[in-house]
């Protein structure tokens, strides 16, 4: 019975991935995210249909779900810059709703109304956070996507958000783990950590990069590997020059 239950769950997950992957991959918020992350989101989404006239989210509310548009017609209704009149923007397939509110814990600026029968995918905030805990490297990608093209005052809100703190905390902790492996000359562990998505240019709490430590310790094999993986030469230049020439 247990084996049958596991088989059914795996089948459901495969169906969800096949149905929803194409939409999730095209969402600008998830541009560049890893395939395992996309597949996990596809498993966690819930499909919902909305009728004309329904309200998806109201202005000034704090969102607790992210929505992805599959098809239909939605109208994003908000104030114009001079606040004197309303502006209406039609949302297309693969648009996402509520990302700023959800990830930065700020009120929604517009009301989203359903103009025609629409199918959306919904993922709750906790499911998204849990997925980012596992696929930590995708947090930085999502943050960069969120910042792209935003005006200064919006960028400041994003940079002060819990998402930014979460990403920075993870990157510092992961940099510390990578630096520890480099310090001990453990090439196998370094390879695994970098393959898991840790940026070899991240620095630890003391501002040391993996390349810096590898150069000081004289680990030429680690230096070569980190350079191959995109490590940037900066303060380590004098050490690297001596090792590579």
Confidence at residue 237, expressed as pLDDT on a 0 to 100 scale: 47
Confidence at residue 45, expressed as pLDDT on a 0 to 100 scale: 94
pTM for this one? Answer: 0.74
For the record, the structure tokens of 18 come out as 């096949």
pLDDT per residue, tens digit, the chain (245 aa), is 555 555 666 677 888 888 899 999 999 999 999 999 999 999 999 999 999 999 999 888 999 999 999 999 898 887 555 555 566 778 888 899 999 999 988 898 889 999 999 999 999 999 998 998 888 889 989 999 999 988 888 888 888 888 888 888 888 888 888 999 999 999 999 998 888 778 888 887 777 889 989 998 999 999 999 999 988 886 444 445 454 44
> Whole-angstrom Cα distance, residue 107 to residue 155?
15
Confidence at residue 137, expressed as pLDDT on a 0 to 100 scale: 83
Burial 203-235 (b: 16+ CB within 10 A, else e): bbeeebbbbbbbbeeebeebbebbbebebebee
40 contacts: CB under 8 Å, gap ≥ 6: 131, 134, 135
Residue 25 CB-density burial (10 A; 0-12 exposed, 13-18 middle, 19+ buried): middle
Residue with tokens 């393959």: 195
Domains identified in the chain and CATH numbers: 2-159 (2.60.120.10), 173-244 (1.25.40.20)
Confidence at residue 232, expressed as pLDDT on a 0 to 100 scale: 87
Instruction: List C-alpha distances in Å: 24 to 43, 108, 178.
Output: 11, 22, 31
185 contacts: CB under 8 Å, gap ≥ 6: 217, 219, 222
Confidence at residue 119, expressed as pLDDT on a 0 to 100 scale: 95
* Best CA proximity match to 16, nearest among 137, 126, 122: 122
């Amino acid at each position: 019975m247990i084996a049958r239950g596991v088989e059914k769950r795996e089948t459901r997950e495969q169906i969800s991935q096949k149905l929803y992957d194409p939409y999730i991959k095209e969402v600008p918020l998830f541009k560049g995210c890893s395939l395992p992350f996309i597949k996990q989101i596809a498993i966690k989404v819930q499909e919902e249909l909305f009728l004309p006239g329904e309200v998806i989210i109201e202005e000034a509310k704090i969102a607790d779900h992210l929505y992805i548009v599959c098809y239909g017609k939605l109208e994003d209704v908000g104030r114009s810059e001079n606040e004197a009149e309303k502006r209406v923007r039609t949302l297309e397939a693969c648009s996402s709703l509520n990302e700023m509110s959800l990830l930065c814990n700020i009120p929604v600026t517009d009301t989203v109304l359903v103009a025609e029968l629409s199918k959306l995918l919904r993922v709750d905030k906790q499911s998204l956070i849990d997925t980012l805990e596992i696929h930590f490297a995708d947090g930085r990608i999502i943050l960069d996507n969120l910042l792209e093209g935003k005006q200064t005052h919006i960028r400041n809100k994003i940079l002060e958000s819990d998402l930014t703190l979460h990403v920075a905390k993870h990157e510092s902790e992961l940099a510390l783990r990578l630096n520890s492996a480099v310090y001990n000359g453990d090439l196998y562990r370094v390879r695994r950590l970098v393959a898991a998505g840790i940026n070899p240019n991240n620095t630890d709490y003391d501002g040391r990069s993996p390349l810096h430590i590898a150069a000081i310790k004289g680990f030429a094999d680690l230096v070569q590997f980190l350079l191959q993986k995109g490590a940037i030469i900066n303060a380590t230049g004098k050490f690297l020059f001596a090792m590579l020439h």
